[in-house]
Amino acid sequence: MKKLFFITLAAFAFTACEKDDPIIPNEEELITTLIYTLTPDGGGNPVELKFQDLDGDGGNVPVISGGTLTSNTTYSGSLKLLNEIESEDITLEVEEEGDEHQFFFSVSGLNANVDYADTDANGKPVGINTTLTTGATSNGQLTITLRHEPAKDASGVANGDITNAGGETDIEVTFDVAIQ
């Protein structure tokens, strides 16, 4: 009995080998990059606002590039979400689940206004396509928020007011923007 016991003890002490290399997970859900492209309605060069965190949480810090807009101009805005690790376009996922997602745009210090230019299956806005209208010259920030499972019927939400939206934040990025 005793012998058997020590054999067992020894067996598990020595058979335990080095751990195998872990399989690096396929981070298909990760969003590394958000690009908000603003194209002036009357023609001209598009402006690109970009947030890029290529390695996800931790590691290197994200790179954020803001932009300069022209005053009293209407822009067509379009959002693109990318997973650059897996080379995937996440915009499509959000579009497909449009009824479970909504982007919100808020400005501080900027004379600008963002309106929705798209709808989900239920006729509620999603915010992948927008119209941005600038006013007088100003400097400030534009914050873009993506909520997953927001209360799309709640008061003000369809007009872009985030207050009653709830849900959880999948994206929240802030850009420095100047209107000249």
Partner 1 sequence: MSLFNKISLLLLLIPFAGLSQNNCNISLHGQALDEVTGKPLPFASIYLEDIQKGTSADADGYFAFDGLCPDTTHIRISHVSCEPLRQYLIIQKDTILNLYLHHHEELMDEVLVHGRHSDQTIENSGTIDKDLISQRSNQDLSKVIEEITGVSTLNTGSGISKPIIHGLYGNRIALLNNGVAQAGQQWGNDHAPEIDVFSADHISVVKGVGALALPGSSLGGVVLIEPGATSEDPHLHGSTNHVYQTNGRGFTVNLELEQGGLEKAIRFNGTLKKGGDLHTPDYFLNNTGKEESNASLFYEFGKSKAWQKKLYASTFNSTIGILRGAHIGNLTDLLLSFERETPFFTEEVFSYEIEAPRQRVHHHLAKLEAENAWAGNQKVSLTYAAQLNQREEFDVRRSGRSDTPALSLIQFNQQASALYERNFSKGLLLRTGLNGAYTDNTNQPETGILPLIPDFNRFDEEAFLIIQNEKAKLLTEIGGRLSLNQLHVVTISRDLPRRIERFNHQFSNVNLAGGLAYSPSRVLKLSVNGGYVERAPAVNELYSFGLHQGVSSLEVGNQNLEKEKSLKTTTSLDINWNDKLFLQLLGYAQSIRNYIYLKPAPEPELTIRGAFPLFNYDQADAFFRGFDALLSLEPVESVRLVSKLSLLKGTDQSNGIPLVFMAPNNLSNEISLSLPDGQRLKNSRISGRLKSVFEQKNYIEGLDFVNPPPTYHLFEMEFHTALSTEKNAFHFSIRGENLLDVSYRDYLNRQRYFADELGRNLTFRVQWEF
Contacts to partner 1 by CB under 8 A: 1-2, 5, 8-9, 12-13, 16, 18-19, 21-34, 51, 53-62, 85, 93-94, 96-97, 100, 145, 147-149, 151, 166-173
Measured from the CB atom, the residue of 33 and 134 that comes closer to partner 1 is 33
**8 Å CB contact between 106 and 143:** yes
Measured from the CB atom, the residue of 173 and 179 that comes closer to partner 1 is 173
Q: Which ranges in the chain belong to alpha helices (H)?
A: 2-15, 91-96
Measured from the CB atom, the residue of 13 and 136 that comes closer to partner 1 is 13
Q: Can you name the residues that pair with 130 across neighbouring β-strands?
A: 77, 116
Residue with tokens 């915010």: 127
Q: How far is the CB of 63 from partner 1 (least distance, A)?
A: 11
The pair of structure tokens assigned to 132 is 């941005």
Q: How far is the CB of 166 from partner 1 (least distance, A)?
A: 4
3-class secondary-structure state, position 47 = strand
